[in-house]
Structure 1
Amino acid sequence: MTRNRPVPDLSPEEIAQVRAMVIHEDNSLIAFNKPAGLAVQAGSGVAQSLDTLMAAFAKSNGKRPRLVHRLDQGTSGVIVAAKTQPVAAALSDAFAGRDVQKTYLALVKGPLPPAEHGVVDAALVKVEEGGKSRMILARAGRKGAQAARTGWRVIARNGAFGLLELSPETGRMHQIRVHLMSLGCPILGDALYGEGQASAPRLMLHAAKLDLPHPEGKSLTLTAPVPEDFRLAAETAGLHSGL
């Protein structure tokens, strides 16, 4: 639980907004289907974030759920918050220990690999360019390089467009986005690693499913349907049969 911080005052509209995102809730955690465009954490230029919206679930003592992993602002889909500190620690360990299986969907453009599935095993390193952080492929032995692996599978293809299912084994910043760029088929709408709004209004990446060990000793599968703009972009690219 997040505590010892002022609980933001939320409007009735903001409370309704975040409650409408809930796809699962129990005594230990809450799972949300985050819309694209909503930042996970507050920062420079961020007027509202999912973290501040956690105030809608605050207890009378001010304690509120704590997000245990992150999604890029442009990415939609499943994200989880813990209701207690022990649950937060257990889930954070599960993510760090790669005990959580993550499944993403991405709409891409470019020459797709001829194979139907494969794995990108390419280390990444963070660099600063023009005041912004981004990830690049790292040569062997480069200082700061982090191992990164992403499994991929082609669900549907139509000319230069494809719908891919991604299974990242590690959780590096922008990992899926950089790995798909390295394959020659960046995600539609990706302003950092692709064509940006020339290909789509926003980043067409969706966190579709999480399989995680529940703190109460069971397994839990969380799924989030793709948003309407994702579905529409897939149909426009002739990839609707994959959803």
Structure 2
Amino acid sequence: MTRNRPVPKVSAEDAAFVRNLVIYEDDKVIVFNKPSGLAVQGGGGVARSLDDLLAVFAKSNGKRPRLVHRLDQGTSGVVITARTQPAAAFLSEEFASRRTEKTYLALVQGTLPAHDEGTLETPLVKVAEAGRPRMIAAKADRKGAQEAITHWRILARAGDNALVEARPETGRMHQIRAHLSIAGMPILGDWLYGTGAQSAPRLMLHAAKLNICHPDGEAMKFEAPVPEDFRELAETLGLQAGL
């Protein structure tokens, strides 16, 4: 957040769009309900990102809100940003120290476990395949392997489909997607770890809740309602009882 940073121009349409995504805001933070398909950061041919749109909330000196965590482009749900440098440092430390509680919902398909809850602790390592980074299972002593812990619970079942609640304890790239795929129940619409468009038009992963300490010291809970396309597919699959 450099002083006197030029504020990028944002169209009136995009300004209205990003303001409509706001769940909560005050002088320290802004919380958004990011739709699937909107990238959090630019680069790599991304035409529009949440980071770009944060210019709408910039101060007159050019300071604008700052990202403190990420969601994959296909994932919908809660994203918190910081309005000041001290708030950004505080929130970043909350995530780094694993003091936040993140709850995701996923529609999956595969060989479902007999039990309804458990913990996935397979270490993950980043590899590049055809120029695309992805996470694969790794032995703990492999170079570059990262500890990864995901707690999961099946909320509803219908044949080989399920609605899964996932609570990642660590924050590795693609962690929930990779872990559920390794467990034999990839997320519908996941083009990298599942069957992509054969199962759903987009990645059916939603960041539903975020429990975090506000920079002012208050414990806060933010929730994003399930998107309509997610709800409709859950109903089609007979999984609506879990929502």
Q: TM-score, normalised by structure 1?
A: 0.98
Kindly indicate whether the alpha-carbon contact (under 8 Å) linking 1:2 and 1:66 is maintained by their aligned counterparts in 2: no
- Deviations 1:183-241, CA, capped at 9 Å, x for gaps: 10000000000000000000000000000011101101000001101001111111111
How far has the Cα of 1:124 moved from its partner?
0.4
The change in CA–CA distance for 1:181 and 1:4 in structure 2 (over 3 A counts) is farther
3-state DSSP class of the match of 1:90? Answer: helix
What residue in structure 2 maps to residue 132 of structure 1?
132
| Distance (whole Å) between structure 2 residues aligned to residue 6 and residue 242 of structure 1 | 47
Kindly indicate whether the alpha-carbon contact (under 8 Å) linking 1:39 and 1:48 is maintained by their aligned counterparts in 2: yes
What residue in structure 1 maps to residue 70 of structure 2?
70
Kindly indicate whether the alpha-carbon contact (under 8 Å) linking 2:105 and 2:163 is maintained by their aligned counterparts in 1: yes
Structure 2, unpaired ranges of 5+: none
1:32-71 alignment to 2 at 5 Å?
32-71=32-71
Kindly indicate whether the alpha-carbon contact (under 8 Å) linking 1:3 and 1:64 is maintained by their aligned counterparts in 2: no
3-state DSSP class of the match of 1:231? Answer: helix
| Residue type of the alignment partner of 1:138 | A
1:90-109 alignment to 2 at 5 Å?
90-109=90-109
Percent of aligned positions that are identical: 65
What residue in structure 1 maps to residue 155 of structure 2?
155
1:210 aligns with 2:242: no
1:73-88 alignment to 2 at 5 Å?
73-88=73-88
| Residue type of the alignment partner of 1:63 | K
The change in CA–CA distance for 1:3 and 1:170 in structure 2 (over 3 A counts) is farther
Name segments (4+ residues, structure 1) moved above 6 Å.
none
Aligned-CA RMSD value: 0.9
| Distance (whole Å) between structure 2 residues aligned to residue 119 and residue 84 of structure 1 | 36
The change in CA–CA distance for 1:2 and 1:55 in structure 2 (over 3 A counts) is farther
Bigger Cα displacement from structure 2, 3-12 vs 198-207: 3-12
| Distance (whole Å) between structure 2 residues aligned to residue 2 and residue 93 of structure 1 | 20
What residue in structure 1 maps to residue 224 of structure 2?
224
| Distance (whole Å) between structure 1 residues aligned to residue 241 and residue 102 of structure 2 | 22
| Distance (whole Å) between structure 2 residues aligned to residue 2 and residue 78 of structure 1 | 26
How far has the Cα of 1:140 moved from its partner?
2.8
What residue in structure 2 maps to residue 200 of structure 1?
200
Kindly indicate whether the alpha-carbon contact (under 8 Å) linking 1:2 and 1:64 is maintained by their aligned counterparts in 2: no
3-state DSSP class of the match of 1:102? Answer: strand
Length, aligned pairs only: 243
| Distance (whole Å) between structure 1 residues aligned to residue 184 and residue 5 of structure 2 | 45
The change in CA–CA distance for 1:116 and 1:2 in structure 2 (over 3 A counts) is farther
What residue in structure 1 maps to residue 111 of structure 2?
111
| Residue type of the alignment partner of 1:165 | E
